[in-house]
C-alpha cells in the first residue's frame, strides 16, 4: 500500500518556484510576501513613471475607491444598529449618535464620504474626459465608469431616506416625484419604487434593501472589473504636453515600492482630512419625519438640485426626462463618435482647446444665470402662447430657444477657431456642464420660499 501524499502547503509551493535565496525565512518576510502578492493582484509589477504624475490623474480614481471602502466598512457598523422601520429608524439614528461606541463619528464618516464620493467621481470623469482617456481601447471602461457614477447617485439617494428625519422624508418626496413624469410607465415605476402611492414605511424598506445589498453589490462588482480593465487596457493613459509630437517614453519602475508608497501617503493624507472633518462637522439630522408638515421650500438632495432647477424652467417631460436622458445618452456614446487618438493624454486636447474651454466656461457662467433671471421675471411662455399645449409652449419652444444659439455657437467655433471635432465636443460639453453646475448652485443657494429666486444674504435672520 502506498502512503497518501499530503498536498504541499502554499509556502512549499511558492518555495518550489523560487530560487533558495528568494524564499523568506522568517514570519515577517513571509507576511511581506503575502502583502506584496496581494498588491500585485491589483497592480502590474512595473508601472510607467509618467503615469504616476500627481498632476495628471490627481489620484481621483484611487480616492473614489478609498471612499467606497470607507462606505462599506462604516455601512456595516451602521447596519448592525439600524432597523428599517418607521419611526424606529429615526430612534436608531439617535441611539447611534449617543449610545453606540464611536457611533456618531462612524455615521459622520459615512455621510461625508458618500457626499464627497459624488464630487470625486464627477471630477474623475472630467479628468478622463479632458485628457481624452475614454477613447479606444478604453471605451468599455468609460461605460462602466458612467454606470458606477449612476449607481453612486442611487446609493446616495437611497441612503438619504434612511435617517427618516424631516430632511430625508421631504427631499425623497421631491426627488421621487420626478419618476411620475416618465412617459407611459411613470405611475407604475413610482408605485414600484415607493412601495405605495407616496413615501412611507414601504419606501423605507425598499430603499434600505437597495441601499445595503443590490446597489453596493453592483458597484463593487463593476469596480473590480473597472480596475481589471485599467490593467488590461495597458495601464493609465500617459500624460503628454501640448507641443509633444512623439509618443511619451515609457520608462518603468517597480510598483513596490514606487507606486505603493505614493498611494499609501495619499490615502493616509485623505483619511486624516476626512476623519478630522467628520470629528467636527456632524451629519445633518432634523426632527422625525412628519408627512403633514412640509418645509418651504422643499428641496431634493443637493446633487439633484440642477434637475429640480430645470423643472422650474421646462415642462416636466422635457426638464425631468428628455434633457437628462439626452445628457446621459451623449455621455454613454461619447467614446464612439470622438475617437481621435492623437491628443490622448493632453489636457484639453491642444492649445486652442485650452482657450476654447476657458471661453465656454466664461460664456456659460454669464448665460446660465441670465437665462434663470430672464425666465423668472421676463419670459412667460404659457402667457404668451395661451392656446398652445404646455408641452409646446413650456417645453419644446424654450428648448429650441436654447438649442439654436448652441448650434450657432458651435458653427462660430468652427469658423473662428477652425476647431476640429474633438475641440467642438470639448467646447459644447464644457458649456453645458458649466451651465448645469450654475443651475445646481442656483437651486441650492438662491431658491427660497415657494422656490422663487431670492438673495440669501438679504433675508432677515430666522428666529
Ligand atoms: C456606495 C456606497 C454607499 C453610499 C454612497 C452610501 C450613502 C449613504 C448616505 C448618503 C446615507 C445617509 C447618511 C445620513 O445622512 O445619515 C447612508 C445611510 C446609511 N447607509 Fe449607506 N452608503 C453606501 C454603502 C452602504 C453599505 C454597503 C451599507 C451597509 C452594509 C450602508 C448602510 C447604511 C445605513 C444602515 C444607513 C443609515 C444610517 C444613517 O443614516 O446614518 N451603506 N448611506
Ligand atoms: C465611481 C467610482 C470610480 C472608481 C472607484 C474608479 C476608479 C478608477 C481608478 C483607480 C482608475 C485608475 C487611476 C485614475 O485614473 O485615477 C480609473 C481609471 C479610469 N476610470 Fe474610473 N473610477 C470610477 C468612476 C469612473 C467614471 C465615472 C468614469 C467615466 C465615466 C471612469 C472612467 C475611467 C477610465 C476611462 C479610466 C482609465 C483612465 C486612463 O487610462 O487615463 N471611472 N478609475
> How many domains are contained in the chain?
2
CATH of residue 252: 1.20.810.10
Q: Which of 308, 340, 375 is the last residue of a domain?
A: 308
Ligand 1 binding pocket includes 212 (Cβ within 6 Å): yes
Kindly state whether residues 208 and 295 are assigned to the same domain.
yes
Q: How far is the CA of 165 from the centre of ligand 1 (A)?
A: 15
Q: Say if 334 falls within a structural domain.
A: no
Kindly state whether residues 141 and 256 are assigned to the same domain.
yes
Kindly state whether residues 233 and 369 are assigned to the same domain.
no
pLDDT tens by residue, the chain, 463 residues: 445 567 777 667 666 666 666 677 788 888 888 888 889 988 999 999 999 999 999 999 999 999 999 999 999 999 999 999 999 999 999 999 999 999 999 999 999 999 999 999 999 999 999 999 999 999 999 999 999 999 999 999 999 999 999 999 999 999 999 888 888 898 999 999 999 999 999 999 999 999 999 999 999 999 999 999 999 999 999 999 888 767 767 899 999 999 999 999 999 999 999 999 999 999 999 999 999 999 999 999 999 999 999 999 998 889 989 999 999 999 999 998 877 888 899 999 999 999 999 999 999 999 999 999 998 888 777 677 777 777 887 888 888 888 999 999 999 999 999 999 999 999 999 999 999 999 999 999 999 999 999 888 875 655 5
Grid coordinates standing for 9?
502547503
Q: Which of 308, 332, 356 is the last residue of a domain?
A: 308
Q: Say if 17 falls within a structural domain.
A: no
- From the CA of 152, give the closest atom in ligand 2: 1
Q: Say if 216 falls within a structural domain.
A: yes
Q: Are 86 and 164 in contact (CB under 8 A)?
A: yes
Q: Say if 202 falls within a structural domain.
A: yes
What 3 state SS string does 155-178 have? HHHHHHHCCCEHHHHHHHHHHHHH
Q: Say if 370 falls within a structural domain.
A: yes
Q: How far is the CA of 158 from the centre of ligand 2 (A)?
A: 23
Q: How far is the CA of 188 from the centre of ligand 1 (A)?
A: 27
Kindly state whether residues 180 and 261 are assigned to the same domain.
yes
Kindly state whether residues 135 and 58 are assigned to the same domain.
yes
Kindly state whether residues 274 and 378 are assigned to the same domain.
no
Q: Say if 37 falls within a structural domain.
A: no
d(CA 427, CA 390): 32
Kindly state whether residues 73 and 167 are assigned to the same domain.
yes
Kindly state whether residues 121 and 243 are assigned to the same domain.
yes
- From the CA of 235, give the closest atom in ligand 2: 40
Kindly state whether residues 208 and 112 are assigned to the same domain.
yes
Q: Say if 178 falls within a structural domain.
A: yes
d(CA 454, CA 372): 12
Q: Are 121 and 65 in contact (CB under 8 A)?
A: no
Kindly state whether residues 352 and 254 are assigned to the same domain.
no
Kindly state whether residues 98 and 175 are assigned to the same domain.
yes
Kindly state whether residues 230 and 282 are assigned to the same domain.
yes
Q: Say if 392 falls within a structural domain.
A: yes
Sign of CA dihedral 124, 129, 130, 132: positive
| Domain housing 202 | 44-308
- From the CA of 62, give the closest atom in ligand 2: 10
Q: Which of 256, 290, 308 is the last residue of a domain?
A: 308
The closest ligand to the CA of 207 turns out to be 1
Amino acid at each position: 500500500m502506498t502512503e497518501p501524499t499530503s498536498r504541499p502547503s502554499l509556502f512549499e509551493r511558492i518555495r518550489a518556484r523560487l530560487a533558495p535565496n528568494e524564499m523568506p525565512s522568517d514570519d515577517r518576510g513571509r507576511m511581506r510576501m503575502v502583502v506584496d502578492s496581494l498588491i500585485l493582484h491589483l497592480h502590474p509589477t512595473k508601472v510607467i513613471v509618467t503615469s504616476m504624475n500627481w498632476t495628471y490623474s490627481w489620484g481621483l480614481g484611487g480616492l473614489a475607491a478609498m471612499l467606497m471602502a470607507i462606505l462599506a466598512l462604516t455601512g456595516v457598523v451602521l447596519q448592525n444598529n439600524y432597523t428599517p422601520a418607521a419611526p424606529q429608524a429615526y430612534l436608531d439614528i439617535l441611539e447611534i449618535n449617543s449610545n453606540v461606541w464611536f457611533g456618531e463619528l462612524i455615521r459622520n464618516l459615512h455621510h461625508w464620504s458618500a457626499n464627497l464620493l459624488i464630487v470625486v467621481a464627477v471630477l474623475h470623469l472630467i479628468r478622463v474626459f479632458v485628457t481624452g482617456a475614454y477613447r479606444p481601447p478604453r471605451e468599455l471602461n468609460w461605460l462602466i465608469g458612467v454606470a458606477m457614477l449612476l449607481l453612486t447617485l442611487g446609493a446616495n439617494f437611497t441612503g438619504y431616506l434612511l435617517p427618516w428625519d424631516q430632511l430625508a422624508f421631504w427631499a425623497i418626496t421631491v426627488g421621487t416625484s420626478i419618476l411620475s413624469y416618465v412617459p407611459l410607465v411613470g405611475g407604475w415605476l413610482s408605485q414600484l419604487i415607493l412601495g405605495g402611492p407616496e413615501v412611507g414605511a414601504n419606501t423605507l424598506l425598499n430603499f434600505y434593501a437597495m441601499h445595503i445589498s443590490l446597489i453596493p453589490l453592483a458597484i463593487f462588482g463593476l469596480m473590480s472589473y473597472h480596475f481589471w480593465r485599467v490593467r488590461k487596457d495597458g495601464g493609465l493613459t500617459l500624460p503628454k504636453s501640448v507641443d509633444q509630437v512623439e509618443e511619451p517614453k515609457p520608462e518603468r519602475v517597480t510598483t513596490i515600492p514606487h507606486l505603493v508608497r505614493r498611494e499609501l501617503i495619499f490615502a493616509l493624507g485623505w483619511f486624516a482630512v476626512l476623519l478630522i472633518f467628520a470629528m467636527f462637522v456632524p451629519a445633518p439630522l432634523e426632527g422625525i419625519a412628519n408627512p403633514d408638515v412640509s418645509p418651504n421650500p422643499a428641496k431634493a438632495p443637493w446633487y439633484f438640485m440642477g434637475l429640480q432647477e430645470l423643472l422650474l424652467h421646462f415642462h416636466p417631460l422635457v426638464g425631468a426626462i428628455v434633457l437628462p436622458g439626452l445628457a446621459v445618452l451623449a455621455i454613454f456614446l461619447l467614446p464612439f463618435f470622438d475617437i481621435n487618438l492623437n491628443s490622448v493624454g493632453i489636457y484639453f486636447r491642444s492649445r486652442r482647446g485650452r482657450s476654447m474651454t476657458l471661453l465656454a466656461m466664461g460664456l456659460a457662467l454669464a448665460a446660465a444665470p441670465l437665462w434663470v433671471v430672464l425666465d423668472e421675471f421676463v419670459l412667460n411662455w404659457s402667457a404668451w402662447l395661451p392656446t398652445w399645449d404646455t408641452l409646446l409652449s413650456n417645453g419644446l419652444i424654450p428648448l429650441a430657444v436654447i438649442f439654436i444659439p448652441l448650434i450657432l455657437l458651435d458653427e462660430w467655433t468652427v469658423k473662428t477657431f477652425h476647431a476640429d471635432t474633438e475641440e467642438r465636443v470639448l467646447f459644447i460639453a464644457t458649456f453645458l456642464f458649466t451651465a448645469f453646475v450654475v443651475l445646481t448652485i442656483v437651486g441650492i443657494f438662491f431658491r427660497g420660499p415657494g422656490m422663487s429666486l431670492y438673495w440669501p444674504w438679504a433675508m432677515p435672520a430666522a428666529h
